[in-house]
Amino acid sequence: MTSTGTVLDEIISGVREDLESRRTRIPEPAIRELARAAAPARDARAALAGDGTTMGLIAEVKRASPSKGALAEIPEPAELAAIYADSGASALSVLTEQRRFRGSLADLDAVRERVEAPVLRKDFVVDPYQVLEARAHGADLVLLIVAALEDEPLRELHDLVTELGMSALVEAHTDEELDRALSLGADLIGVNARDLKTLEVDLSRAVELLHRIPAGPLAIGESAVAGVADVEAYAAAGADAVLVGEALVTSGDPAGSVAAFRQVARRGRPAPEGAQA
Cα-based angle 84, 85, 87 (whole degrees, multiple of 5): 65
Question: Is residue 28 a contact partner of residue 132, using CB atoms and an 8 Å limit?
Answer: yes
- Point out the residues that are catalytic: 60, 62, 122, 171, 192, 222-223
Could you report the per-residue pLDDT of 39-70, keeping only the tens digit for each?
999 999 999 999 999 999 999 999 998 888 89
Could you report the per-residue pLDDT of 177-217, keeping only the tens digit for each?
999 999 999 999 999 998 888 889 899 999 999 999 998 99
Return the beta strands (E) in the chain as ranges. Answer: 56-61, 64-65, 69-70, 91-95, 119-122, 141-145, 167-172, 188-192, 218-222, 241-244
Nearest to 234 by CA among 257, 214, 258, 208: 208
**DSSP 8-state assignment for residue 213:** P
| pLDDT of 81 strictly over 80 | yes
CB atoms within 10 A of CB 216: 11
Instruction: Report the alpha-carbon distance of residue 246 to residue 84 in Å, rounded.
Output: 13
Nearest to 100 by CA among 78, 68, 145: 68
pTM of the model: 0.94
Nearest to 192 by CA among 218, 220, 211, 217: 220
Instruction: Report the alpha-carbon distance of residue 21 to residue 35 in Å, rounded.
Output: 19
Mean pLDDT taken over the chain: 93
Could you report the per-residue pLDDT of 248-275, keeping only the tens digit for each?
999 999 999 999 999 999 998 765 554 4
Give the three-state DSSP class for 272.
coil
CB atoms within 10 A of CB 229: 9
Instruction: Report the alpha-carbon distance of residue 49 to residue 34 in Å, rounded.
Output: 29
